[in-house]
A and B are shown apart, each in its own frame.
Chain A
Amino acid sequence: MNIFLVIGIMVISTFVISFAVAGMIRLISISINFLRIQKTKTTDQHESLTEVQNEAAGQDQQLETVAAIGLAIKLYLEDIHDYERTIMTIQKVVRPYSPWSSKIYGLRQNPKGR
């Protein structure tokens, strides 16, 4: 059999199987997502109605609050007159947990003095 024909068959087969696997991964992802949404829907169904009612009632009050916060931020920013560095450096010290040196796991506890 011609080797190039064989390689052609292999390439096409690889493409077909690979995309089938990609489809499967997508399907798993969609299924998990669907199940999650269904679960969220059932648990939230009871609470959603009261939430909507509360939201409608408090909307005007919320808008006023947003306006007040916006005004406060504007006034605050206008007050800042000089340029400040916004780069923050955090030096993180990592101390990984290790039971090796822990005294509580030692075979010999500290002797009690009399």
Chain B
Amino acid sequence: MDASILEKLFPGIVTLFTGDLTISLGRIGLMGLGVLLVYLGKKGILEPLLMIPMGIGMAAVNAGVLVIGGKNTNLFLDPMISDPDALINILQIDFLQPIYTLTFSNGLIACFVFMGIGVLLDVGFLLARPFLSMFLAVCAELGTFLTIPIAMSMGLDINDAASIAMVGGADGPMVLFTSLKLSPKLFVAITVVAYLYLGLTYGGYPWLIKLLVPKRLRAIKMPPKKNIRQISSSEKLYFAVIACIVLCLLFPVAAPLFLSLFVGVAVREAGLKHIVDFIAGPLLYGSTFLLGLLLGVLCDASLILDPQILLLLVLGIVSLLLSGIGGLMGGYIMYFVTGGKFNPVIGIAGVSCVPTTAKVAQKSVTEANPQSIILPEAIGANISGVITTAIIAGLYITLIPILFP
């Protein structure tokens, strides 16, 4: 049979053998990784809510390659498209492109997740320990600072370096905004890398915790807080409204996130049951599912193995790793300051990937000691992480053009 007929009949298989060897091996590797993620999600080793759609999406996008116009492509989405005319065409062809363009790249899906978190969140945790939470959050920004010189030594200029370093803050919309302001030419590439952090935090941080914190310290039980005052729901509602206004005034860069978070809190504290049910159920789970699916579909071998993306991916991972280490260092500082009464794992929750890192921290602690509950402290640090990332984004956008004209 003629090879061209075979290519038309089974383009997915034929492109594995006819294309670039590195890409073909990458496709096979990513298909295997996708299956592994589904397996690990089912076993409960990784977060199933995200990993199962992500794994199957990753496997499918690398399997479903076809040739259109002499170019290997797929019918899922094209994240690198920036020309408006081409985008309109792609929106009518790729089935996930509308969701990617209209909810993912503008941060809407992240805001939906934040609304869901707001509905599930008790702001009493943030009210209780603002200074401790802020300290841990600043420590967990280590990667956001240290990645700049690393990226510059790898050939990026200060604007691109600052944009990719923001991945260490683990806040997609913030990275998006910084790269839009400082390095518009790398905007799409950095956005893709930034959103891939979710998989890394779920999968990688538990190992980082195990590596850097011995089981004895992971098992530390936090002493109960003295003089716990019952905070009424109206008090929490007032706090949510005032904090939302003040934080939006101070950090307009993160205003959509603050609004999403605090509107969730306000709805919960106002007792709007039907809206709470909608946000905490269909909206939160729907957004998480689509986020996982899109993250998987973005792991296309030809995209991941692009030299530019690969460099940004490496720097993004370095940045996140350093932030995780910084957070744990903050946890250790608090451990020594309190004379061994503080569980150092809480530090990693300062990385503002709400609520992933807080959940990861609690899960790691529960494995070591089921009696130890650190979630209140972890959630406080987590929320503070969003604030510190917004502060750093504001500082980078304002100071870098002044210091490096």
Contact = CB atoms under 8 A, between A and B. Distances in A.
B6 interface: no
Contact of A18 (B138, B158, B403): B138
Interface stretch (B181-189, B237-245, B317-325, B354-362): B237-245
A19 B395 contact: no
A28 B240 CA distance: 10
Interface stretch (B31-39, B40-48, B145-153): B145-153
Contact of B403 (A6, A11, A22, A36): A6
B235 A32 contact: yes
A14 interface: yes
A21 B134 contact: yes
Given A28-B239, A96-B281, A97-B277, A3 B148 contact: yes
Contact of B391 (A3, A21, A32): A21
Contacts of B242: 28, 32
Contacts of A23: 130-131
Interface string A18-42: 1101111110110011001000000
Interface string B251-282: 00000000000000000000000000100010
A10 B395 contact: yes
B381 to A, nearest CB: 12
B392 A14 contact: yes
B127 interface: yes
Given A1-B404, A10-B399, A36-B235, A22 B131 contact: yes
Contacts of B238: 32
B244 to A, nearest CB: 11
A13 interface: yes
Given A7-B149, A18-B388, A29-B127, A24 B246 contact: yes
A14 B399 CA distance: 12
Contacts of B229: 33
A36 B236 CA distance: 12
Interface string B222-244: 00000001001001001100110
B161 to A, nearest CB: 9
A3 B399 CA distance: 12
Nearest to A31: B242
A36 B237 CA distance: 13
Given A14-B392, A28-B242, A28-B243, A96 B130 contact: no
Contacts of B134: 18-19, 21-22
B250 interface: yes
Nearest to A3: B149
Nearest to A6: B403
A17 interface: yes
A21 B131 CA distance: 9
Contacts of B391: 14, 17-18, 21
Contacts of A32: 235, 238-239, 242
B405 to A, nearest CB: 10
A77 interface: no
Contacts of B235: 32-33, 36
A16 B181 CA distance: 24
A25 B239 CA distance: 9
A18 B137 contact: yes
A18 B243 contact: no
Interface string B162-189: 0000000000000000000000000000
A4 interface: yes
B141 interface: yes
B348 interface: no
A9 interface: yes
A11 B145 contact: yes
A105 interface: no
A15 B391 CA distance: 10
A9 B399 contact: yes
A28 B243 CA distance: 8
A13 B395 contact: yes
A14 B141 contact: yes
A3 B400 CA distance: 10
Given A3-B158, A7-B149, A25 B137 contact: no
Contacts of A24: 246
B133 interface: yes
Contacts of A11: 145
8 contacts: A3-B148, A3-B149, A7-B146, A17-B391, A22-B134, A25-B127, A26-B130, A28-B239
Interface of A: 1, 3-4, 6-7, 9-11, 13-15, 17-19, 21-26, 28-29, 32-33, 36, 96-97
Smallest CB-CB A-B distances: 8 pairs: A22-B130, A22-B134, A25-B130, A18-B134, A29-B127, A22-B131, A17-B391, A18-B138
